Structure 1
Amino acid sequence: MPKDYPKAILEAEQLSSLEDILVEEMCQSQERGIHFTGVHFRNGMMLVDCGSQGSAEWIIKSVPQLKSWKGPELVVLRGDDIPKPTNITVFFPRSQEMEPEKILRLVEVQNSNLNIGAWRILNSRKEGKGTVLTIGIDPQTEKTLKAGGCCLNFRFGLIPVSGLKSKEVSVDVEMPSTSREPEVQGEGADSSLGQAVGSAGAPMAAEIPSAALAAGRSCQLPVRAFSDSEREEHLKESEEEQEEMEEGT
């Protein structure tokens, strides 16, 4: 990973180049028994599963000496020293016809200071007229999202981000009466927003206002009260997805 991570990250092309350089380095090595069980490009860094202690030591020794590497200065970390990525879950309204990559491209255009290149799509599914994405993000993006009130600009409105722990701010929320629909602004007002789910323990739609205003900024968002059965169903669904991602990792 870059020495200045997360200020500096490795883009997809750099990660691929680094993998090829390491393979070339192995071809020229006098050591024997160097082997690995996997390589992963995640959140602007490369994760390598070493097959033995000797293989791990070879990586630690070789990476700082890669003569053909043209990118930022690299460091090798092990085990618990490796930065843990943060996963967020976002419901993108009116995106049922868009591929996840196109959704992220629009997010990149409409939001500043986000390292989209370091994001990793962990799960994608269609939900009503929109798409729910679970995404692994880098620390700098996490900081930027929290500073922006845990919201993203998308299409012609603001949408909430679930999965970020931040200090909640108490706000007064006017719940809709049974005689009319609540007035909201922006395309985030799509009724299917109420079906957005977050990671286990993340605030559900009915709790969005306090999370959205965590940084003290006004964020007009639709609110829909869930019934107990709906809440349990979405929470169970979210927990199952989280377990599947952890098993896959």
Structure 2
Amino acid sequence: HALCFCGVFFRSGLLLVDCNNEETATWLAEVAPKLEGWEGPLLSARRGEEIPRMYKMRSRLHNSAHKSVDYALGLLRVQNEGIYPKAWQIITSDIEDSSLKIIVGIDEESYMQIKKQGFRLNYRFSAIFMRPLKPMSKVERAGVSEPVYW
């Protein structure tokens, strides 16, 4: 049988490939771990409920208003082992005073490492905190028609 894919979707920390049939899914599961040229978490193929959870995190990167988000994430990568900012998805970024505020979607490996470090990461000549986004409570959501995270 020919390989047949239904679509490819980019999500925080992963590339989701929708296979049209079992033969294609089996082929992808065999080939993915053998692919080279990838920096970051090991490549693997997962099915349905095995797909790892993605985490949304927020942070304020001090003294970075004049830098790009890519530059700031690069500093996080080189100053902290076990996290993979190249695989993170930037959800929003904003400048406030001299800080760069970001909300990112991250992979499970990075999340577990950040959690292990007490949500504290080395950044520039200091440290920053990355906090998981939590859904707002019912009271906080009153009058809001769409899900809001803070």
| Alignment TM-score, normalising by the size of structure 2 | 0.71
RMSD: 3.2
Per the alignment, residue 130 of structure 2 pairs with: 161
- Whether 1:39 and 2:4 are equivalent positions in the alignment is no
Q: Which runs of 5+ in 2 are unaligned?
A: none
SS in 2 for 1:149: coil
Letter in 2 for 1:137: I
Per the alignment, residue 26 of structure 2 pairs with: 61
Q: 2:135 aligns with which of 177, 196, 200?
A: 200
SS in 1 for 2:131: coil
Q: Which structure would you say has the larger RCO, counting Cα contacts within 8 Å and 6 or more residues apart? A: 2
Distance, in Å, in 2 between the alignment partners of 1:80 and 1:101 is 31
Q: Is the 8 A contact 1:162 1:199 kept in 2?
A: no
Report the CA distance between 1:153 and its aligned residue.
1.6
- Whether 1:91 and 2:60 are equivalent positions in the alignment is yes
Per the alignment, residue 90 of structure 2 pairs with: 121
Report the CA distance between 1:99 and its aligned residue.
0.7
Distance, in Å, in 1 between the alignment partners of 2:58 and 2:46 is 28
Query: Computing the radius of gyration over CA atoms, which structure comes out larger, 1 or 2?
Result: 1
Count of residue pairs brought into register by the alignment:
137
Q: Is the 8 A contact 2:35 2:43 kept in 1?
A: no
Report the CA distance between 1:75 and its aligned residue.
4.9
Greater strand proportion:
2
- Which aligned segments of 4 or more residues in structure 1 are displaced greater than 4 angstroms? 72-75
Question: Percent identity over the alignment?
Answer: 24
Cα deviation code 1:76-121 (max 9, x no counterpart): 3222221111111011112111110000111122222322333222
Greater helix proportion:
1
In structure 2, relative to structure 1, the CA distance for the partners of 1:128 and 1:56 (3 Å cut) is: farther
Q: Which runs of 5+ in 1 are unaligned?
A: 1-27, 164-197, 202-231, 244-249
User: How do 1:190-229 and structure 2 match up within 5 A?
Assistant: 198-200=133-135
